[in-house]
Amino acid sequence: MRNWLKSLAVVAAVVAIPGLVSADVDTVTGAWAVKGKVEGYPVQVRCEFERQGEGLAGLCRDGDASGEAHVLTESGVKGDHVSWTYHRRFLFKTYRAQYDGVVNGASMTGTISVAGYTGPFTATRQ
């Protein structure tokens, strides 16, 4: 009887998890204005996230006149924590930009990491 109850509890947890993950992803989907600094250099992008299965897809556009688009190469959402990565070319070299943040309603705060350097960022839902 105990094994049966344990099995039932495990099945219930596994069935409930996709719903929990979906709710987390939905809190991040949409457009975000992201501003930050890395080693004194300003970072300003507009990111657009959409659901892709249980994760995120999308892109971030530079906030300067070029508006260059950078497609997300990695992403993750767990609870109120979100992370995403894209690659950006600058002065003949490609850099990996990694964002790790915490969502709080229509705002987000976190850290940007580029080429071993880090800095803070804030974001607001658009």
Domain at 80, CATH number: 2.40.128.120
Structural domain boundaries, residue 49: 2-125
Q: Per-residue pLDDT for 51 more than 90?
A: no
Q: Per-residue pLDDT for 6 more than 90?
A: no
pLDDT at 2: 53
This prediction has a pTM of 0.78
Helix %, strand %, coil % for the chain, to 5? Answer: 20, 60, 20
Task: Indicate the number of domains in the chain.
Answer: 1
pLDDT at 8: 35
Question: How far is it, in rounded angstroms, from Cα 107 to Cα 87?
Answer: 24
